[in-house]
Amino acid sequence: MKLEFVKMHGLGNDFMVLDLRGRRIRGLADIVKRLSNRRFGIGFDQALLLKDSKKADFCMEIYNADGSRVEMCGNGIRCVANYIWKRGLKRKPSLSIETLAGIKVVERIKGGLVRADMGKPVLEGSLIPVRKKGHVKDYPLKAGGKRFEVSCVSMGNPHCVILVDSTDDFDVARFGPLLETHRFFPRRTNVEFVEVINKKRIRMRVWERGSGETLACGTGACASAVATHIKGLTQRKVVVYLKGGELLIEWSRDDNHVYMTGPAEEVFEGTIDVKSRR
């Protein structure tokens, strides 16, 4: 079986985009897991599947590198929107895209950037979900012999935000997987390690659920902006510096929605024989 794909990235958070409208593929999770390998496959953090939708302009399904399916991807939805616009699948400047986290609206703006309405942040612990009811702010959690104070937010997918003195010096590879799989998070979690620079700027590294450390995470940047604002450390509009670049995040006072603005780049197109990769 041959698959046509497009390799894309948002700030180095990279994707395999497949147009599967009107097409079904068996064993997709296993295929994604094999093709995500950076030595023996295409190599990517997530696979983004473009499908038809009865509720919106398109539907986006998301699979992590380990083959698990997830609810939402901020960098990914910008890439899918650019994929649609570049190929003329829809020519209007604003698109509605169905995800497991609901319908999201993205728009093309000046400078080749894409702005996404990421919806309202969820702060109720039972809905994030975590094993605690109510808002989870500075909650004590132990992992790897270290005590953390975690603040949890859902942007359609679960996030655990932790303040650190320096993102450069923090051992993300050690503590990221321990926190991702901590029993406090029944569906695992994405983990953001955040350094506050000032009221308008933060620096972030991320350990993504099912993918490991990535160069950027759009929903993670949104969750970090929300968490640091709730803690009184930042304004509602912040620039988030990630290893792959920067995102502008605004938590609107008017509608309580979080808006994310950033780039989406196409790297190359290709065709791969899935059977030859076994």
Cβ density class 5-33: b for 16+ within 10 Å, e for less: bbbbbbbebbbbbbbeeeeeeeebeebbb
The rounded distance, in Å, linking the Cα atoms of 172 and 176 is: 5
Please determine, for residue 277, whether its predicted confidence score (pLDDT) is greater than 50.
Answer: no
Please determine, for residue 87, whether its predicted confidence score (pLDDT) is greater than 50.
Answer: yes
> Which residues are 189's β-sheet partners?
none
Q: Is 217 in a helix, a strand, or coil?
A: coil
At 77 the pLDDT is 98
CB 245 within 8 A of CB 263: yes
Please determine, for residue 275, whether its predicted confidence score (pLDDT) is greater than 80.
Answer: no
The CA angle 121-149-260, to the nearest 5 degrees, is 30
> 2-113+263-277 — its CATH code?
3.10.310.10
Please tell me if the domain spanning 2-113+263-277 has the same topology as the one spanning 125-261: yes
Q: Confidence class of residue 110 from pLDDT cuts 50, 70 and 90?
A: confident
Please determine, for residue 8, whether its predicted confidence score (pLDDT) is greater than 90.
Answer: yes
Domain ranges within the chain, ordered by starting residue: 2-113+263-277, 125-261
At 111 the pLDDT is 87
Please determine, for residue 166, whether its predicted confidence score (pLDDT) is greater than 80.
Answer: yes
- pLDDT single digits (tens) 26-73: 899 999 999 999 999 999 999 999 999 999 999 999 999 999 999 999
> To the nearest whole percent, how much of the chain has pLDDT over 90?
94
- pLDDT single digits (tens) 197-252: 999 999 999 999 999 999 999 999 999 999 999 999 999 999 999 999 999 999 99
Residue 1 vs residue 46, higher pLDDT:
46
At 278 the pLDDT is 43
Kindly name the residue from 59, 73, 79, 152 that is annotated as catalytic: 73
Identify the helix (H) or strand (E) that includes residue 227: helix 218-230
CB 8 within 8 A of CB 81: no
Place of tokens 């064993």: 27
The rounded distance, in Å, linking the Cα atoms of 213 and 81 is: 24
Q: Which CATH architecture has domain 125-261?
A: Roll (3.10)
Known catalytic membership, residue 73: yes
- Determine the average pLDDT of the residues in 123-138: 98
Q: Confidence class of residue 276 from pLDDT cuts 50, 70 and 90?
A: very low
At 211 the pLDDT is 96
Which residue stretches of 65-193 are H helix? 74-86, 172-180
Q: What six digits make up the tokens of 33? A: 């897991």
For 222, phi and psi rounded to 5 degrees? -65, -45
Known catalytic membership, residue 160: no
- pLDDT single digits (tens) 11-29: 999 999 999 999 989 899 9
Residue 110 vs residue 45, higher pLDDT:
45
- Determine the average pLDDT of the residues in 264-269: 97
Kindly name the residue from 59, 79, 160, 217 that is annotated as catalytic: 217
